Amino acid sequence: MNLESIEKAAAYLQSKFASTPKIGLILGSGLGVLADEIEHAVKIPYSEIPEFPVSTVEGHAGQLVFGTLHGVSVAAMQGRFHYYEGYDMHKVTFPVRVMKALGVETVIVTNAAGGVNMDFEPGDLMLISDHINFIGNHPLIGPNDAKLGVRFPDMSEAYCKKLRRVAKDVAERLNIKVQEGVYVAMSGPTYETPAEIRMLRTLGGDAVGMSTVPEVIVARHAGLQVLGISCISNMAAGILDQPLNHEEVIETTERVKANFLSLVKEIVSELG
Ligand code: HPA
């Protein structure tokens, strides 16, 4: 992770899109459709961007989409990089550094997650109030470049309380039910065992997934404000008497897409 590669990627993107995006959107599995709603869209495949990794997993298009949502300038990642794909933590979080370099102030990070909290149902949307990093790695390990952030970043309010307040007010206005809770990140790519899910519940987790936490750590290191939204795509392992699969994750996110889209668009409009 060096400043030079961040600036190289940012300079290329600025040559394609002149205005400054205010909000960065990181769109999880099945949630990339939000980028299709962006107006005056300029789409740049990751493969074209210098220094950018290339995404591989199904359900991810792998491009940055610039444009406006309700008149607010945004940069959206349609598809993200996961640790389980074999990218190192610096690659996983590189796009967040680039967003910061482009002038983004707030990132809205989304994902599909398994419900650990027994009160949740597949299809619920959950505002992330906090996280537990169980990936077994950390994106800030290594020498710290003080130009990018401090050595020991505070994480006492990683997910901005004010942004959550805005999200809750918008959800209420749109009559969309939202849960709130703690997101636990595991490395994947296996889904968890029932014993692991019982452990995560005991430790205070409400939802579990394989992303988000590295990006949020780097966003906080970079001084960006974060709003996190999980789409509860399934109940986590062992809760229901059925196996888990990626198709179910995609099907559920497909089902709640409309609510997810209107919630995020309205939040963006509110923040603009
Ligand atoms: N576990 C981990 N990641 C996930 C899940 C899950 O149950 N559902 C969607 N992403």
Distance CA 123, CA 115 (A): 10
Q: Is the CB of residue 111 below 6 angstroms from any atom belonging to ligand 1?
A: no
Locate all alpha helices (DSSP H) within the chain, ordered by sequence: 3-16, 89-102, 161-174, 194-202, 213-221, 246-271
- Specify the residue for token string 């997101």: 183
Q: Are the beta carbons of 44 and 77 closer than 8 angstroms?
A: no
Mutate to test the pocket of ligand 1, among 84, 116, 234, 248 (most ligand atoms within 8 A of CB): 234
Q: What is the pLDDT of residue 17?
A: 92
Does the interface ipTM go beyond 0.90?
yes
- Specify the residue for token string 């300038």: 73
Q: Are the beta carbons of 82 and 58 closer than 8 angstroms?
A: no
Which protein residue's CA is at the shortest distance from atom 10 of ligand 1? 113
Measure 20 CA to ligand 1 centroid, in angstroms.
34
| Ramachandran angles phi, psi of 91, nearest 5° | -70, -45
Q: Are the beta carbons of 207 and 115 closer than 8 angstroms?
A: yes
Distance CA 252, CA 120 (A): 14
CA 59 to chain CA mean position, Å: 15
Q: What is the pLDDT of residue 59?
A: 46
| Ramachandran angles phi, psi of 263, nearest 5° | -60, -55
- Strands (E) across 123-191 are located at 125-134, 178-186
Tell me the whole-structure pTM to 2 decimals: 0.96
Catalytic residues: 29, 60, 82, 84-85, 112, 210-211, 234, 246
Q: Is the CB of residue 191 below 6 angstroms from any atom belonging to ligand 1?
A: yes
Q: Is the CB of residue 212 below 6 angstroms from any atom belonging to ligand 1?
A: no
Distance CA 104, CA 125 (A): 24
- Specify the residue for token string 């805005």: 166
Measure 215 CA to ligand 1 centroid, in angstroms.
17
Q: What is the pLDDT of residue 30?
A: 83
- Taking the CA atoms of residue 76, residue 78, residue 82 and residue 84 in that order, the dihedral angle to the nearest 10 degrees is 170
* CA proximity to 42, closest of 8, 76, 83, 4: 76
Q: What is the pLDDT of residue 249?
A: 84
Q: Is the CB of residue 112 below 6 angstroms from any atom belonging to ligand 1?
A: yes
Q: Are the beta carbons of 120 and 256 closer than 8 angstroms?
A: no
Q: What is the pLDDT of residue 49?
A: 95
Q: Tabulate helix, strand, coil % of the chain (nearest 5).
A: 35, 25, 40
Residues of the chain with pLDDT under 50: 59
